[in-house]
Amino acid sequence: MRLLRTGEAFQTHGMYSLSADSSDSIEIDCDGGRGLAGHVWGAGAALAALLLSPEGRRRFLADRPDVVELGSGTGVAGLAAAAAGASSVLLTDLPPAVPALAATATRNAHVLEGCHVAAAPLAWADASEVAHALAPSGCDLILAADVLYSPDAAEQEALRGAMLALAAPRGALVLHAYEERWDYVHEPWRRSLAGSGLRLQSEEELQVPTTGADGAPTLFSAPSELGSVERRRLVLELLRVDDGEEAPGG
């Protein structure tokens, strides 16, 4: 059993491999020297694994959607979508992260055939203007993994604004994956969805990815006041543009 404490990345250095099919893998070079954007984080790894699974392909990629990923970091989720059937994938992050994203896409071009993959800078606060320039006709699916880590209200509002700006033209589905690290971060996020222009369609728990060639299980944990270990969830929110209609049950 591998224990990951609060704030620890899933993989910080070396090559992270995702099996795209029986013969090919997506190879992502983790570089801790690039800061947060150079790590593969737990919710990103879990979302990528879901998108590459038969269930994920059926639920989210069967119609070959146009995809935009917010805060791509290493691009693990966006590249998984590209390999699993997306028509196009736009990886976005702050400008310093974009060259590495483009290089990773190029390195994996043989696995991503049939999908147009590009990388571009996008700051959430500028999303309304920039999103129109990057994807003027909108997109069908938005990915955001491990981007919820700040309690700052303005930063959370900028993230919601970016999701809404990209989702509005086509009514895109947003897959927002995050690790429940701190209550003071995710609880305000959940409360603030009301009236934000987005609605929570459903919420589910992501399966924790295995680690290494031996498939060792991973536990995302936090020490409790009693000294024991408490499990932390990897959450997947399915968000839609709020059209005033109630979300379907389940």
CA dihedral 31, 39, 45, 214 (to 10 degrees): 60
- pLDDT value at position 217? 53
Q: What is the pLDDT of residues 160-207, one digit of tens each?
A: 999 998 999 999 999 999 988 888 999 999 999 999 999 999 999 998
- How confident is the model over 2-11, as a mean pLDDT? 62
CA 181 to chain centre: 16
Token readout for 73 is: 């970091």
152 pLDDT more than 80: yes
**pLDDT the model gives residue 18:** 83
Q: What is the pLDDT of residue 3?
A: 53
Write down the pLDDT at residue 8: 66
Say which residue, 151 or 15, is predicted with more confidence.
151
**134 — phi, psi (to 5°)?**
-80, -40
In sign, the C-alpha dihedral spanning 250, 61, 41, 128 is negative
The mean pLDDT value for 18-38 works out to: 79
Whether 227 shows a pLDDT value over 80: the answer reads no
pLDDT category of residue 243 using cuts at 50, 70 and 90: confident
- Provide mean pLDDT across the span 214-223: 53
